[in-house]
Structure 1
Amino acid sequence: MKNGNLDRETLTASLVGSSGGAWAAINAGLLRPDLVEKVVADSFDGRTLAKNFVQNLINERSGAKQDGQAVWFYQWCQGEDWERIVDMDTRALVRCAEEKNPLFIKPLSELKVPLLLLGSRGDEMTRPDFQEEYEVMAGETGAEICLLSEGGHPAILSKAEQAAEFICKFLH
């Protein structure tokens, strides 16, 4: 604090992103390492999208809109207009996959903030080889990897208490 005002240059935040939010969190760390202290990236495909990503995404989102627990989760995350937001997110991800857009704004090797890659082996939405993908990413970034033996998509929801333990340990 200087003269009762916060010194903005000393404020940082740690970010936790799940699924598509994992890319957003990593990109924030790549773009503004001065503002991001640490990043947790949960339940995502990694550096590239799996070959069947689009069809899996469309199937998952269609089913999720009919699933009470998924609807609750979307409402909890996005609010009452969750369906509009989920639809916009789905369209953006499909377009990204079809146009083969890069998922990161810079090479991962340029990430200067600590990274935790989190996931569960039972995740039906991530690529089948996501563990190997996480290992390659860790080699490029020095990331820690935490793979839960059980759970679905995302790990932070399907195994919330276990995920929270690892996240809190990493952030502290």
Structure 2
Amino acid sequence: MSYFNFNNKRVYYTEFGTGTPLLLLHGNTASSNMFAEIAERYGKDFKVILIDFLGHGKSDRLNEFPADLWFNEAEQVIAFLREKQYTKVNIIGSSGGALVAMNVALEVPELINKVIADSFEGEKPIKVFTENVEADRENSKHNENARMFYSYMHGSDWEKVVDNDTRAVIRHQKEIGRFFHKDLQSFKPAILLTGSLQDEFVCTLAPNYFEKAYGELISKIGHGKIHLFDTGGHPAMLTNQNSFYQLSMKFLNSKFTL
């Protein structure tokens, strides 16, 4: 197993395939294991890079996650890219990983080629989600499918990982309240925003949630495209895997941006 160091902690990563680097970034309470199936498909055309953010998967554990979680994870990615001297990297981030991907592109646009940001909230946290996250996470611990997912992502100490993430989400809402440190107008790489119209995390809030949230992002960025799948849940990347893969390959391989 391979690791790089960040703040005196070991961050797990793995690489396979050849070609332009393609970094897949996992979401909250998950690890790079969430990409186990789809990553193999990308490995036919790209040098695929998978990272477990600190406190997740095979990476070193933390006593607590920072409140500015998604920016801190972006700093981990930037440290990795600089250590490996990678440039013109493509990134696909899903759920919380989409926030990380956008933060990376905002901070070091010179290192990034294209970004696909999938199934995320927008520029700010959803207040009702944050208010209910503690109860929802506690309920998930008693759901057999959720427990199997957490265990597959992290191993036997999955409950501590979930609790750390829950506390970080709540602290972020109270202490920070915005996902990005830089203005979206400074976003340079080509970007595609994706989601599912049946995403269980947002469809109950408003049927047009993604259209509005993503539309506001694209308006501020000044370029980019949106693609919403009619079916599938959260995240769209995995619940619409075949369609997402085809869409992403067209976007990543084309000189034009869909």
TM-score by length of 2: 0.57
Percent identity reads: 37
CA distance in structure 1 between the aligned counterparts of 2:117 and 2:198, rounded to whole angstroms: 17
Deviations 1:57-84 (A, max 9, x none): 33443344344444454455x4324433
1:57 to 133, 149, 153: 133
Residue pair 1:122, 1:149 contacting (<8 A) in 2 also: yes
SS in 1 for 2:243: helix
The equivalent residue for 2:164 is 88
Check if 1:79 corresponds to 2:160: no
Moved over 6 A (4+): none
Name the amino acid aligned to 1:140. Answer: K
> Cα–Cα, structure 1 residues 10 and 41, in superposed 2: closer, same or farther, change >3 Å?
closer
SS in 2 for 1:156: helix
* Runs of 5+ consecutive residues of structure 2 not aligned to the other structure: 1-83, 254-258
Name the amino acid aligned to 1:137. Answer: L
Structure of greater relative contact order (alpha carbons < 8 Å, 6+ residues apart): 1
The equivalent residue for 1:111 is 187
Q: Which has the higher strand share?
A: 2
1:131 to 203, 206, 211: 211
The Cα of 1:103 is off from its aligned counterpart by 0.9
CA distance in structure 2 between the aligned counterparts of 1:146 and 1:90, rounded to whole angstroms: 29
2:177 to 88, 91, 101: 101
CA distance in structure 2 between the aligned counterparts of 1:122 and 1:54, rounded to whole angstroms: 20
Q: RMSD across aligned C-alpha pairs, in angstroms?
A: 2.2
Residue pair 1:124, 1:152 contacting (<8 A) in 2 also: yes
Check if 1:166 corresponds to 2:241: no
Residue pair 1:30, 1:111 contacting (<8 A) in 2 also: yes
How many residues end up aligned between the 2 structures? 164
Q: Which has the higher helix share?
A: 1
Deviations 1:2-29 (A, max 9, x none): xxxxxx7663321111111111110000
